Structure 1
Amino acid sequence: MSPPRKPHSSDPRARAAATKRNRTRRALLEAADAAFTARGWARTRIEDVAATAGVSPATAYNHFPAKHALIAAVYAPLIAPLVATEHARAANGDDATAPDSATLLVEQIRALARVCVRNRGLTSAYWAAAQDYAVRVEAPPDPEDEQDPRTIAPVADVLHDLVERAQAAGELRPDPPAATVCPILVDVLLARIALHPTETVEALTRLVAGLALGVLAPDRPAR
């Protein structure tokens, strides 16, 4: 999957080609967002997305080699701010005024639940794509796999670094490790979004946070 290209300032033809390519990519992502949201994973075809975007299927496949990669590219920007927030928190180091790790974990789960509920149709389609890909490859996410939705839009990363740091600091139980428990928590949240379309943010937060704290901080009730 090719990322957007930056125009080369000294070559007008390269600049024009990169601008056209980026415009095509945006059109495909916008068309895919609408299609996956309205029709879901199974009933959306790259050929239909290409037609809506006004390009050929071959052009669409040149940008996104598979439907799995396309939906992940649509979904990734939704979770990117949450991952960035957690990275910024880690970069700032210890803050005596910050809430404890268990509270931060609940807050992060709530923030993720808000994003998922706000984009329920797209979240359901993304979850179906991730499940389908996992069954196909029969393996955990591979960072080198450019078609795996779990790699392109790594929803578990929203929780992973926070849990890993808290476990290393002894603030949360070290077992199961973050790499094991965070994908499970995220899968529960995404499955509830897909299978229980009226579930609220607070209900989702109580369920997933309750599971998280029950395993990682059993003496701390979810709020």
Structure 2
Amino acid sequence: MSAADGGRSGDARARAAQTKRDRTRRALLDAADANFGTRGWARTRMEDIAATAEVSPATAYNHFASKHTLIGHVYKPLVAALVAQADQDRADGRPLADALKDQVSALTRMAFRNRGLTAALWFAINDYAGGRPSGPSDPGDPDDPRVLAPIPDTMVGLIADGQESGEYRRYPEAAEVAALAANMVMIRSVNRPHEPPEHAAELLLTVIFGLLKPELLQDAERPFSRA
């Protein structure tokens, strides 16, 4: 066999191995989505996810360090889509108040539509943070669900731009407002399973703009009502 033949054979084996890894990873993510969404955080074990994906628990742990990592990766695409829209609105120079209203409404609909996963993420965040020093998450931690699925990032850029331009009050800081809003939407989706997302979004927007631009609330009794 020539060196070229050997190289092609090695490349083919490497591609096949990578394809297998990708398929296994996808199977685990799909299995985690199904288990977290129906069984919840506490009742779902890594062994349950592995069984649904038809792999061994050892294989599951080779791909994902823990349940915390898995729920973060499952929820990550949902958050990423909203962050991409916010970035596009900022790049297009869209009016910040309009973009923030739409972003909060979209975030609330997403969180409520995926209530099971949102609840699992909420409990995962609290469980993960509970075993570590208090304070903000470490951006370099690859297993922290807050880093993998950073819900505040869906709003923080739009708020920061408004504070920098003078459209919004500078206090509280954008990261604090966005974190408060993210916690609120997750808590309401968990604790109020029958609440319409439009109602939660209205309350959320009232809190956000009450902090950042209170004069907007004087224009109407319920300026964010979709009724």
Q: Output the TM-score relative to the length of structure 1.
A: 0.91
Q: Give the equivalent residue in structure 1 for 2:123.
A: 128
Q: Give the equivalent residue in structure 2 for 1:189.
A: 185
> Please, which of 103, 111, 114 is the counterpart of residue 108 of structure 1?
103
| Percent identity between the two aligned chains | 49
What SS is found at the alignment partner of 1:155?
Answer: coil
Deviations 1:21-41 (A, max 9, x none): 000000000010000000111
Q: Distance in 2 between matches of 1:180 and 1:200?
A: 26
Q: Is 2:136 aligned against 1:149?
A: no
9-18 vs 46-55, which moves further: 9-18
Superposition pairs of residues 44-123 of structure 1, within 5 angstroms: 44-92=44-92, 94=93, 98=94, 100-123=95-118
Deviation, 1:157, is 0.4
CA 1:78–1:9 in 2, change beyond 3 Å: closer, same or farther? farther
Q: Is 2:136 aligned against 1:140?
A: yes
Greater share of helix residues, 1 or 2?
A: 2
The number of aligned residues is 211
CA 1:64–1:106 in 2, change beyond 3 Å: closer, same or farther? same
One-letter identity of the residue aligned with 1:104: A
Structure with larger Rg: 2
What SS is found at the alignment partner of 2:101?
Answer: helix
CA 1:10–1:88 in 2, change beyond 3 Å: closer, same or farther? farther
Q: Distance in 2 between matches of 1:188 and 1:168?
A: 24
Q: Distance in 1 between matches of 2:127 and 2:170?
A: 30
What SS is found at the alignment partner of 2:216?
Answer: coil
Q: Distance in 1 between matches of 2:45 and 2:216?
A: 46
- Give unpaired runs (5+ residues) of structure 2: 1-7, 218-222
Q: Give the equivalent residue in structure 1 for 2:207.
A: 211
Q: Distance in 1 between matches of 2:41 and 2:145?
A: 12
Q: Distance in 1 between matches of 2:171 and 2:131?
A: 29
- Give unpaired runs (5+ residues) of structure 1: 1-7
Alpha carbons 1:102, 1:172 under 8 Å: kept: no
Alpha carbons 2:89, 2:99 under 8 Å: kept: no
> Alpha carbon RMSD of aligned pairs, Å?
1.5
Q: Output the TM-score relative to the length of structure 2.
A: 0.89
Alpha carbons 1:116, 1:193 under 8 Å: kept: yes
Deviation, 1:102, is 2.4
Q: Distance in 2 between matches of 1:113 and 1:72?
A: 18
Deviation, 1:123, is 0.8
What SS is found at the alignment partner of 2:127?
Answer: helix
Q: Is 2:145 aligned against 1:169?
A: no
**Runs of 4+ residues deviating >3 angstroms:** none
Alpha carbons 2:86, 2:99 under 8 Å: kept: no
